[in-house]
Structure 1
Amino acid sequence: MELKKYELASLCIHQLAEMHEESFASQPVQQALIQSFCQNHNKAIECLLEATATQPEPSMFIILGKIQMKAKKTEDAEISFKKAMKLLKTSAKTLPNTFEAAEIYYLTGLCYMEQKSLLQACDAFSMAIRLHSSYPDAFYQRGLCRMQLGQAKCIQDFSQALALCPSHFQAYMSRAAYYGSKGRYSKAILNCNEAIKILPNSVQAYFYRGTLKCQNKAFKAAIEDLSKTIDLNKICILAYYNRAVSYHQIKDFREALKDYGILLLLELNKEINFKVLINRGLLYMELDDYANACELQAAYIQTLSVSTCQSTKLLHEPEEAVRSFDQVLKLDPVSVDAYVGRGNSYMEKGDEAGCKRAQKDFLRAVHLNPKCVKARICLGYNLQALGKLQRAWSQFTVAICIDPKCHAAYAGRASVCLQSDETFAAFQDTNTALKLTTTAALLTNRGVINQLMGYLPYAMKDYQQAISVDPNYALAYFNAANIYFNNQQFSQVTLQSVFILSEVVFLNKY
C-alpha cells in the first residue's frame, strides 16, 4: 500500500482473509479489520464480540462500533461506544480529557445523526469538543446538526472547523450550502471557490457553484461551471438540467434543446423527467412550434404538463388534449392533475356525453386527493352544468373549507346560488371573492346580482369598474348597454350606448 499498488494490496488482504493460520487467529483485531476490508462485516463483528467477551478494552469496543456502523447496525454501534465510555471512566466517574474519549462521543454523535436524533447528536459532538477542543470533524458535524435544526450558529462551527483544518473541503461546501439557502449567493460562491482550490476536480464543487450562479442569474458563468461538471462526470443529470435552464434563459434555444434531449436519453426519475418535458415544451412554444410541443408531451410526458395544456388550447383541439392526457394516465394512473386536465378537455366538447365523462374524471381526482381544491371546483361546475345544483353547491363549499382564500370557489358557489334564486347568498359570496381578488368577471357578476336586486346605479358602477379593470371584457359593455336601453335613456346617452354596443360587436368579431 505504501507503494500505492492498491490492487495488489487488496488481493493480498483477500488471500489473508481466507487463511486459517493459528498466528492470525490469535490476533482478533487484525482478523476483524481484514474481514471488514473484504466487506465481510458480520464475520468481523463475530470475531470482535468473542474478543471483547474475554478481553473487554475500550479500543476493542471502539473498533467493534466502527465496524457495526459500516454494517449499518447503528443501534448496536451506539451500545458498543457506550460500553467503551463506561470502561474509560475513572473512579470519579468522569472521562479523561483525551482524544480517545472525545472520539467515542464523536462516533456516538454520528450514530445519533444516522438515527435522525439531531439534538442528541449535537450534544454528543459538543461533549467531544469539550474533551478535545481541537477536533475539526466534531465542529463540522455539530455544524451540520445545527444547520438541519435551522440554527444560524452552524456557520460558526463550520468556520471553527476551517480554522483548525484549512483544507476541510466539506466545511467550505457546507458553508456554501448555508449561505445559498439564505439567498446570499455571492458568499456561497466564494466558499465554493475555496473548495475548488482544495479539490480542483471536484464535481460537487463545480456543480454547486454553477447552480448558485444560475440562482444569481449569472447564466453565462453558470454554463461554464456546469460544462466543467459535465466534463468531469458525463452522466451528471442535474448539471445537464441546470445548464439547459441557463441556455434557455439566455435564449440559446439550440443548446438548451440539445441538453434537454440528452436528459431524455438518460435514466431519469419521474420528477426530473416531468420538469424536462415541461421546459422543453415551453421552449417549443417560445419558438411558436405548438405542434412539436404537443407531439413531445403526448409521446413522453409522465404527469400533467402545462405545455400540453397550453398547446392544445392554442390549437383548439379538445380531442387532441384528451389523447395527450390519456398518454399521461397510461404512464401515471394516479395523476390527479391529469384526471382534472382530461375532465376539462371533455367539458370543452360541450355535449352531455362529454360532461358525464368529465364527471368521472373529476370524481376520480377527488378520490385520489380529497383536498385537491382544483378538482372540487371543476366537479362543482360539472354538476352545475348537469343541473345538480345542490351537489355543486356542496363541492364549492368543501373547496372553501379546504382553502378559505380560494376566490374561484366563492365565485363558483355564487353562480350556483344565483341559479337557485338565492340572490343575497350569491351577492355575499361574490363580495368575498372580490376581497380576495379583483377581476372584470367578478365585478360583472356582482353587477348582474345588483341588477337583479333592483340596484341599478350599483350595477352600472360595477360594470364601469369591470371595464376599467379589463377594457376588452365584452360582457361588461353589453350589460351596461342593456341598462341604458331598458331605462330608455336614448336622448341622454345615445352616443355612449352606441359606443358600448359597437365595442361588443368589435370584441366578438375579433
Structure 2
Amino acid sequence: MGEVSFKTSPVQQALVQSFCQNHNEAIACLQELIANQPTPSIFVLLGKIQMKAKKTKDAVESFREALKILNSSAKKLPNTIEAAEIYYLMALCYMDQVSLLQAYKAFSLAVKVYPNFPDAFYQRGLCRMQLKQARCIQDFNRALAINPKHFQAYLSRAAYYGSKGRYSKAILNCNEAIKIHPDSVRAYLYRGTLKYHNKTYKNAIDDLTKTIDLDKICILAYYNRAICYHQIKDFKKALKDYGILLLLESSKEIVLAVLINRALLYVELEDYSNALEDFKEASLSDPRNSEIYQAIGICCHRLEQFEEAVNSFTQGLKLDPFFLDAYVARGNSYMEYGHETGNTKAQKDFLKAMHLNPKCVKARICLGYNLQAFGKFQKAWNQFTVAIDIDPKCHVAYDGRAVVCLQMGDTFAAFQDINAALKLTTSAQLLTNRGVINQFMGHLNCSMKDYQQAISINPGYALAYFNAANIYFHHRQFAQASSYYSKALQLDPRNESAVLNRAITNTLLQKIEEAKEDFEKAICLCPFSAAVYFNRANLYRTLKQYELAEKDISTALSIQPNDALMYKLRADVRGKMGFSEEAIADYKQAISIQEMIDAM
C-alpha cells in the first residue's frame, strides 16, 4: 500500500493552536500566511485570536488592515455584514482598553453599516451606560426590537432601570429574561437583589433561594439573602447565611462586609461579646478603618470594659484626628471610670469635639452631663440651653436640662422642659423622668400615671417599675410594692436599691425568710452599704435575735460612723441584751451627734 499523508492548511493549524490556548503559535502561523496572502478574513481571524491572547491593541491594527482591504474595493463604506463585524470587534477591543468614546464610534459604524445587528446595539448600550448617557436605553430597546429573545439586553435594561431606582420596571425585565433562560443564575440573582431594593424582602428571599438551588456556592446570593433575613428580623437564618459565607472561599471584601454585617446583627441582639469578636476580626482585614475601631469601642463600653473602650477610641482617633463621634464616645467611657480624673479627661474630649464643630449637639449634651457630675449645675444648664438653640427638636437636651433644673430646685422649669421633650417624642425614660419631677412636686397620683404609662410603652423598662413600687411603699400598699420591686429585679437583677427595698417591704409583710434572702443578696451586691446592715439589724431586733442585730448595727457604724439613729438603735439592742453601760454610752454618742447636727 502507498503511504497517505495528511496536510493541514495554515488556517486550520492556527485554529487548532488557538483551541489549545497556544495563542502565540496561532498568531505566528497567521502572520506567516498574511505575508503571502493578505485577505480580510485572515486579518479578522488574526484579530480574534489576538483578542483571546489579550493583545487588543494588536487586534485593532489587524481589524484596520482588514478594513483597508475592504475599503480599497469600494468608494464608500462597504455595506456588508463582514464590515459591520469588523467594526463591532474593534469596538470590543476599545471597551477592553476602556477607550469608551472610540468604542462608541466603532459600534455606531457597525450599526450604520448593518442596521439589523442586535449585539452591536446591545454593546453600544453598555458603552453608553458607562459614559452615563441616558440614551443607552434606546440601544437596548433597538436590540430587543431586532431580537426579542436577546437575554443580555433584558438584563442590561433591568440594570439601567435599577440604577435609576425604577425597581418595578427592572423586575419586569428580569421576568422576561427568566422566560428566555428559566435556569439563569444571574437573572434570579439580579431579580432578588432588585426586590431587596424594592423592600419586598420575602419575595427577594424566594429568588435568592432559587439562585442558591441553581448554584450552591453563589456567594452574592448567600450575602444578599442574609441581608434580607436581617431586614425581616429572622436573625437565626441571617446568621446561618453569614456563617456559610465565611466557610466559602469568599473574597477579602466579602469577608470584611460579612463580619461587619454580622457584628451589627449581634449588636441589634445586644450580644456585644460576639459583636466585639467580629469587629476585632474585621479590624485585622481593614486596620486603617477608624469606624471599625469606633464600633469596637462601643461594644467594649456596653460590656463595661471601659479601659479597652478608651484604647479603641484612641486608636480610631489616631487614624482620623477629626472623628467627632470618637471624641464623644471616648469621653463617655472616661465618665464611667467613676472618679474625678476620668471626668476631667472626659471634659477635655467633649471640649475638643466642640472645638472641631461648635454645633455638635451630642458633644454639648455630654459636656452638660459632665458639668452636672462636677456639681456645676448652672454651667451644665447653659450647655443644654445652647444645644436646644442649635437643635430645637433635640429631646435629649430638654431632658438633660430638666434634670439639672430639678437639682437646682426649680421644679416648675424642670416640669416645663420634660413636657417639651415629651411633645417631641414619647419614651419610657422621659415619662419616668416626668414621674420623678411630679414626685418632687408632691403630685404622687400624676407620678404613678407617668410610671404606668412608661410601663405600657416599654414593659422592659426596670426603673419605671422601681419608682412605681416606691410610691406603693409610700402609700403602705406593701403587697403591690413587693410585686413591682420583683418585676424591676427581673429586668435588672443588679439593682441593689430594689433588693434592699423589697427586703424592707417583706419585713413589713412579715415574710421573714424572703426578707433575709433579700438582705443577703443586697449585701452581695453592695457589701459596703450601711443602710443594708442597718435595716437587717432592725429585722433581727423585731425577731429578738439581739446578738445578730448588734453585730449588723456595729458593721453599719463602722461604714458610717457619725449616724445618730444607728447609735440609738444599737443602744436599744444592747439594752435588751443587758449591756447597760454600753447602751448608755451609745445613747450619749447619739445625743452628741444630733446636737452637733442641730448646731450647724
TM-score (norm 1): 0.66
What residue in structure 2 maps to residue 180 of structure 1?
162
Aligned position for 1:294: 273
Q: Which residue of 1 aligns with 2:138?
A: 156
The residue aligned with 2:395 is 470
Q: Where do 1:413-492 residues align within 5 Å? A: 414=354, 430=358, 432-433=359-360, 441=365, 462=386, 469-470=394-395, 475-477=400-402, 479-480=404-405
Inter-CA distance 441–76: structure 2 relative to 1 (3 Å threshold): same
SS, match of residue 7 in structure 2: helix
- Name the counterpart of 1:23: 7
Instruction: Give matches, 1:67-466, under 5 Å.
Output: 67-90=49-72, 94-287=76-269, 290=271, 294-295=273-274, 297-298=276-277, 301=278, 304=279, 325=280, 327-330=281-284, 332-340=286-294, 361-362=315-316, 364-366=318-320, 412=352, 414=354, 430=358, 432-433=359-360, 441=365, 462=386
**Structure 2 counterpart of 1:469, one-letter code:** C
Unmatched segments (≥5 aa) in structure 1: 1-19, 305-324, 397-407, 417-428
CA distance in 1, matches of 2:355, 2:180: 66
Amino acid at match of 1:23: K
In the other structure, the counterpart of 1:5 is: none
Query: How many angstroms apart in 2 are the aligned matches of 1:495 and 1:171?
Result: 65
2:249 is paired with a residue whose SS is: coil
How far is the alpha carbon of 1:358 from its aligned partner?
6.1
**TM-score (normalised: structure 2):** 0.57
Q: CA deviation at 1:464?
A: 7.8
Q: Deviations over 1:180-208 (max 9, x none)?
A: 11111111111111111111111111111
- List runs of 5+ in structure 2 lacking aligned partners: 335-339, 418-435, 442-462, 468-494, 499-600
Q: Secondary structure at the match of 2:216?
A: coil
Match of residue 54 from structure 1? 36
* 2:510 corresponding residue in structure 1: none
Describe the shift of the 1:176–1:346 C-alpha distance in structure 2 as closer, same or farther (beyond 3 A).
closer
Q: Distance in 2 between matches of 1:97 and 1:112?
A: 22
SS at 2:238 equivalent: helix
Task: Classify 1:54/1:234 alpha carbon distance in 2 versus 1 (closer, same or farther; 3 Å).
Answer: same
Alpha-carbon distance change, 459 to 349 in structure 1, aligned in 2, over 3 angstroms: closer
User: Residues 334, 98 of structure 1: CA spacing in aligned structure 2 closer, same or farther, 3 A cutoff?
Assistant: same
The 8 Å contact of residues 291 and 316 in structure 2, kept in 1 or not, is answered as no
Deviation at 1:38, TM superposition (A): 1.6
- What is the alpha-carbon distance in structure 2 between the residues aligned to residue 69 and residue 294 of structure 1? 53
Give distance in 2, aligned partners of 1:106 and 1:361: 54
Higher relative contact order (CA 8 A, sep 6+): 1
Q: Which amino acid aligns with 2:189?
A: F
Residue type of the alignment partner of 2:25: K
Structure 1 residues 169 and 379: alpha-carbon distance in aligned structure 2, compared to 1, 3 A threshold: same
Kept after mapping to 2: 8 A contact 1:229/1:236 = yes
The change in CA–CA distance for 1:50 and 1:379 in structure 2 (over 3 A counts) is farther
Q: 1:53 to 1:371 in 2, by over 3 A?
A: farther
CA positional deviation for 1:111: 0.6
Structure 2: how far apart are the matches of 1:261 and 1:71?
39
For 1:421-452, what per-residue CA distance to the aligned partner results, in whole angstroms no more than 9, with x for missing partners?
xxxxxxxx63x446xxx89718959x99xxx9
Structure 1 or 2, whichever has the larger Rg, is 2
Contact 1:277-1:297 within 8 A present in 2 as well: no
SS where residue 116 of structure 2 aligns?
Answer: coil
Name the CA shift for 1:33/1:464 in 2 (closer, same or farther; >3 Å).
Answer: closer
Go from structure 1 to structure 2 and tell me whether the alpha carbon gap of 1:117 and 1:54 turns closer, same or farther (over 3 Å shift): same
Identity among equivalent pairs (%): 51
Residues 1:53 and 1:265: Cα distance change in structure 2 (over 3 Å) = same
Counterpart Cα distance in 1 of 2:333 and 2:367: 23
